[in-house]
Structure 1
């Protein structure tokens, strides 16, 4: 599943790799409740009323209505809606027609095959995944690519298949030049595609055979570009990935508290979650959660509280990076922790 929020499953795009010494703040007292903040909770629709309607249509197996609604969107919006519908509807491939002449059906079937493939692989590290699992995983991703390239041929302007192809290229371990070509193809159809930038950041992570230098340079360039008002969240995402790679025992917390890292986080937040009128497309709570986590790790307590307030109590999947499980519980504990630290 792409990184649009917390669905029914862990993200297909990012295996969980929890540092052994992830912070464990005390859960009491419930300072957030005292301050009138909402109780931590997840939303199946990520706060997106359009997705909520589409999930209802998918539950009813109403492809005609679902397709008609999806057809009204393009770019990041369509990629997000297709991906989240497939992530939260297990039997999409059984009732969406394999219409060889319909690019949208092919894009949906491709996204669904990715989800099913990652279910087989699981989010475990590679050494804990069997050869049989990998074989089936790769088979499903190749099935996905067949659907996605069919969609591309039928509608060369459609961006959603290229978004999904960025995920399959990671799972199939293609070279970085292939990933860049697919990213460039996506941007030619949808400049500033937020989901595509999130996926490219993952492609550049050290855990996916990239490097910290490539990842941070990509995030910094995105922040300074034409679409920085949306893409600056990548800076927080990249620093969290770097912390995750190090772990606290290897200096992860010290890394996050470097002056230059703190300054980058502050700049990125001012462009996004702290900017008046800011709204992230389709998933309004993902960026606030990222910044709440990043500022907390950086020891910028007041800023972390502001980001938590912007999250409105909605918990997204990235908290599994710190907790490994029970993201709502950990979100609650960490929110209390930063409120306490920020108090005079």
Structure 2
């Protein structure tokens, strides 16, 4: 029987945006929308110095039209690493919007030109950001993305990750970024992804998100096939399910875990990988933690109607 909590959640709209997952992220979004630079600075100054600021940077950068406001901040605040980080991240967003999510073969030459113009500008801004403040872990995290987009060597992407990790206690967003760089679709290998994910899990303090990217690595491995049956067969392997369970137990399901920026992304990835692998009991704990919150990663790769699929999966896991 579906639990009362699941019945209530089934009636609520899904909240898929990062700023809806952590109340404080709405503050920086509103500050950017209001073009209030003092409020933006105050928000970032209020974050713990060695916390992962990367998600807050992404939320700010996703505000439509914010590039004009952020350019004024860069022009006015000559020594601001933050202003260059935010505008650089906005350029990354604009570049990917121009490229779209189409396969590379289906992207036009005009789209590629716009993409590389934006990513090249992002790289220059982010390079300036870390020159001003070498301890700016969020800027190093964004530079992992530009390294991938601009075709830099894997060693350079890893150097940028190491810089982010040097200045951030739990660089969960940087770990997720590097998993993408190491994925086969970007010229990497499944072994490189899994080795890195396990490295993060072993090195990170229990109860944090360090190592939750084990789920990302398995999702990317599964999607090296474009057949749903093979994706599910891979995720359904006993070894894979056990690795996912062990990683979840050490991260988001650990007794010391306290939800912070990124917790929805981690639970969503575990829920997806475990459910698609047929492990309903383990997936149910992640669905229960999420309620009506979800990040699309994994789910939207499987289906265009992923929101309905998520709801159905949540109900099925609750009724196990």
| Structure 2 residue 294 is the aligned partner of structure 1 residue 321 | no
- Per the TM alignment, residue 228 of structure 1 is displaced from its structure 2 partner at its CA by 5.1
Distance 1:326 1:312 in 2: 19
Q: Which residue of 1 aligns with 2:97?
A: 119
Residue 188 of structure 2 is aligned with which of 172, 188, 210? 210
Distance 2:129 2:57 in 1: 13
| Structure 2 residue 15 is the aligned partner of structure 1 residue 42 | yes
Distance 2:58 2:92 in 1: 9
Q: Secondary structure at the match of 1:231?
A: coil
- Per the TM alignment, residue 75 of structure 1 is displaced from its structure 2 partner at its CA by 4.4
Q: Which residue of 1 aligns with 2:28?
A: 54
Distance 1:82 1:34 in 2: 33
Residue 85 of structure 1 is aligned with which of 33, 42, 60? 60
Deviates more, 1:163-172 or 1:149-158: 149-158
Task: Give RMSD over aligned pairs.
Answer: 2.0
Q: Which runs of 4+ in 1 moved over 6 A?
A: none
Higher relative contact order (CA 8 A, sep 6+): 1
Distance 2:206 2:188 in 1: 23
Deviates more, 1:220-229 or 1:143-152: 220-229
Q: Secondary structure at the match of 2:117?
A: helix
| Structure 2 residue 173 is the aligned partner of structure 1 residue 199 | no
Matched pairs, number: 310
Q: Secondary structure at the match of 1:48?
A: coil
Q: Which runs of 5+ in 2 are unaligned?
A: none
Contact 1:32 1:335 in 2 (8 A): no
Cα-to-partner distance string for 1:204-259 (whole Å, 9 max, x where unaligned): 11111100111111111111113354223111111111111124457322221222
Distance 2:168 2:252 in 1: 23
Q: Which residue of 2 aligns with 1:23?
A: none
Cα-to-partner distance string for 1:113-136 (whole Å, 9 max, x where unaligned): 111111111111101111111111
Q: Which residue of 2 aligns with 1:254?
A: 233
TM-score when normalising by structure 2: 0.90
TM-score when normalising by structure 1: 0.84
Distance 1:174 1:103 in 2: 23
Structure 1 residues 207 and 33, CA, compared in 2 at 3 Å: closer, same or farther? farther
Distance 1:131 1:218 in 2: 34
Distance 1:224 1:249 in 2: 31
